[in-house]
A and B are shown apart, each in its own frame.
Chain A
Amino acid sequence: MKKYFLVLIMILILFCACNRKTSNEFVVGVQAPITGEYASEGQGMSNAVKLIVQQQNDEGGLNGVMIKVITCDDEGSPQKASICAKKLVNDGAKVVIGSYTSTATAASQEIYANASVIQTSDATAAVLTQGNYKTYFRASFNDDIEGEFTANYFVNVKKYGNIAIISDYSSFSSGLAGAVVKNIGLLGGNIVCNEKIDANAQDFKAVLTKIKALNPDVIYFSGYYTQSGLLRAQQVQLDIQADYVGGNATDNPQFIEIAGEQNAIDSYLVGLPVPEQLDYPEALKFNSDYLREYKAPVPSIWTVINADGLRVVFEAMKQVNTNDTIAAIEHIKGGMKDFRGLTGPITIQRNGERAGSIYRVNVINSDLDYETVYYDPVSGK
């Protein structure tokens, strides 16, 4: 008898735990790596979303409805990502910002699309827009565009003779490396090796030693800042005289910390401008609001891109005068032109890709500041 009573109580607790939905609020979800090695990016995303939402609530909410933020930690992993997606949908999220990594984003897309939840992220893997998910769009740029830009810089601007490429197994890193390799091939550049590293490992000296024997002029890595910092430090340890170039995910202040200040100097970063380089009035205001709220500068451009994604959704809902997600996504993908984003004018194409490109090459100078040495010839600046 006692046993049945206990079971009954447990079932009751379960019911209470499930029925926590609140109705009169517009819920914005954040699916991001709050812990783990990409934590600094995940926390930046969550902070930025809270800041934008708070400012929107101060203006009276979204079409008269107050907005609430729920965060779910996906640790950058695809397994956790799909759990998060289901949880956020169950909790009533209408818009989800996330995730930071392409792998985690890809794992959650279908769940959001089926629930008609608008999803936007900073992820850049080309595959993300190839699934034709009706509710997905991004304020970042497809890796194929970065691949073209990087290849052009290596072959036509720097005229590197021997190019060594390193990537890891994540969908973002291998996709970007693939785009770079393809475009270098089209331009007639010479790739001496195309290596893989295990992102869970920390010792990359074996691969770097192998590369050293091939006398490269440049070592390019397409993965994230944690491994990028270690690669740069170990390149210096092994005394490999070659330029070091990181792809867009090397852009994080921790790159310098991990590589070591002395080692980080003269590293090149191909990517988007860093937050401090954005000079649009909206961006200057966002940077200073963020600094005031969190007592720390915006961690990276990805934080700003995610903020832009959310701003696009809010703007669309205001323009169509309803918080209906289907009406809003229709408007985003067809109606809005040149929205004044923090990262420049934003136009989203029908397939969910952002039009144009704002790529550039930064070098870390002896004061550890980013110095732009090359702009995209198409967009100018």
Chain B
Amino acid sequence: MATTERPAPSIGQRKQRKEDPELITGASRYVDDISIPGMLWVYVVRSPFAHARINGIDLSEALAAPGVVAAYTGETLEMGPLVMAWPINDECKAPAHLPLTKDKARYVGDPVAVVVADSRVHAKDAAELVQVEWEPLPAVTDIKEALADGAPIVHEEYGTNDAGSWIMSRDSPAPIRNPSGPYFEDPDMVTIKEEYYLSRLIPNAMEPRGVVVDVNSSMGEYTVYSATQIPHILRTTLTITCGVPEAKLRVVAPDVGGGFGSKLEAYPEDAICLTIAKVLGRPVKWIEERSEGYVATLHGREMYQQIELASTKDGILKAVRVKLWASMGAHMRIITPGIPMLGAWLYAGCYDVEGYDFEYTNVFTNNTFTDAYRGAGRPEATYAIERAMDALARELGMDPVELRRKNFISDDKFPNYTIASGLTIDSANYAGTLEKCIGMLGYEKFRAEQKSRRESGSTKVLGVGFSTWLEMCGIAPSRVLAALKYIAGGWDAATVEFLPTGTVRVLTGVSPHGQGEVTTFSQIVADQLGVDFDDVEVLHGDTQIVPLGLDTYGSRGLSVGGVALWKAGEKIIEKARKIAAHELECAEEDLEFAGGDFTVKGTDRSANIKALGFSAWSAHNLPDGMEPGLTATHLYDPPNFSWPNGAHACVVEVDTETGSIDLLRYIAVDDCGVRINPMVVEGQVHGGVAQGIAEALFEEATYDSEGNLQHGTMTTYMLPGPPELPSFELDHTVTPSPTNPMGVKGVGEAGTIAAPPAVINAVVDALSHLGVTNVGRPATPERVWNAIQEARR
């Protein structure tokens, strides 16, 4: 169970990261840094139209251009469809997604041909010479328009853009406590209905994507270096798409410059490069240009939300009812149809309700496909409920903090409380995080200042917004995934091995790309096995070195991969104990293990685990029948999700004449259970909050009526820079998870989940005295100003 009492020389320390020396000196190796003798360059020709039939492709001019080795269309480069791994139910439409489209283009950026040349420059120059005979078709990019009669149809074989619905009462494996309907029909209930639109987002990992494929033709072996979060999953999906035997396919995630879900994908370019390498028998490389990536790399969010709450007149929340319409874009990528479902159980937030209903409808449009973006499903849920809680507070004339306090799932329900939507939360501290947050804010003082500012008639008004959040992360129990129709499992793996020279090698199946597990996993091993932090080497991200694993996403690195590591460590201790008992000629039960030493109780006779590691390797004197080597592998399948939570507050100043927003304070109090390295945890929260703020105030990807991306470069897509964000004020509580032996939960998505409603609630609060009840997001100056004008009307 929880291990907070255990002496912890390493866990809990702000250890500097082992990852950093390479990264701060330029010695890192990202995919674009990889070059292989004889390597050819691939350039992808993409559709300039959102929807157009391909009546012919002429490659002859391109083939004649300097340095060109080959060029292909979908007809000439043979590949199967890309893998889609989450057909959410029988009505889920999942059209085959070919890496190079043959019949028509369905979004601006759809790959239609490739050119292969001896240099980056020649490939790009020649790509301009590919002639495609286009027959442009009407396009549809808006969710609601796509569902209207007579809309252009993205996939004609279905005759509709409705890609199928998922209805909780019908499709969820976990029973709902009560249907919501009766609560909304009860005349004694106060009910509200809110509608929100979540804009389309571009993840923008700082490193663009890229692929290098190396070939050992004589052996039929291929190495794919890809800027990916999921080398193991990519290996499997590439085998299916490209027909390369899985055992002969090695996928390496070298240093990867951020992901946020955008590199959790089986992309056309991965398959195209592997197939070209196979056909030509030569190494190839493709590096994405940023503006290319804006149409070629997955987008996130974009949905219409409808949320209804029913509460008693004194503010006891009784029921939640939710309907969503989500944009898939033009294709179902690896888990596109299931993204809204990742929030399905969480639309009541941290609040105890009785009635619950949820459903969503997936919609095809002529846009870049959507898929997992940091938080995936859970930011959407948190946004809806936290905005709606403020709306309910206004309806009831209650303070928004008071309303939240009144409705939290109380501490005494834990451990293991089954919420109305049917999942079981193992532990949480909802009230505790909010109280701490309120304390840091100085709530009453703020309200007084807000009031006096308003009374002074200033055009700079103040607002505060709150967001309390929970998430189901640590994805995921494999049986649950099965029940949700996800094709793969959710376990992860770790191997711990004592090397004869006294160091410990750790192989982890998660694939960090900034999260710092090389450091935090070293801390875990150092503590558990009593070895030096510096004597632990953590290897990852190469399917040849670490064959077993399911990679990094969904805040699972620690809560699944880290627990697998802990379990492997337990096996190591168990075996070492046997060797120690053998060497010290005592019974195993007589041994105490602490600080790396097995000591015979009541004596000073002991054996150190490193020495036992050497004994196991030399195998000169092992107990009869024992296998040599001190190594252990564990595959851990979590029995439950992990359930971190927290409370955030945001203070803004709004200029009522220009609509511009100044973010004055951002306070985050989070509970991710036991913290291995507080510095790393804080870094995750900072980055997540920044992305959440960006989502609320800056970022959106819109399309014009012809389906062209209007925010098509990093100049127009609004990523906030250093001046646009404040320093953050952080604190935490620690509620260990009872589900795993380390008490850990996960923190990678916390900030992104919590921040958007806190920010928008703050903006609305600032303008509430003018009658403003909603501001569209992102809350640009113009949207804010329009909201003020509408309220005045």
| A and B found bound together | no
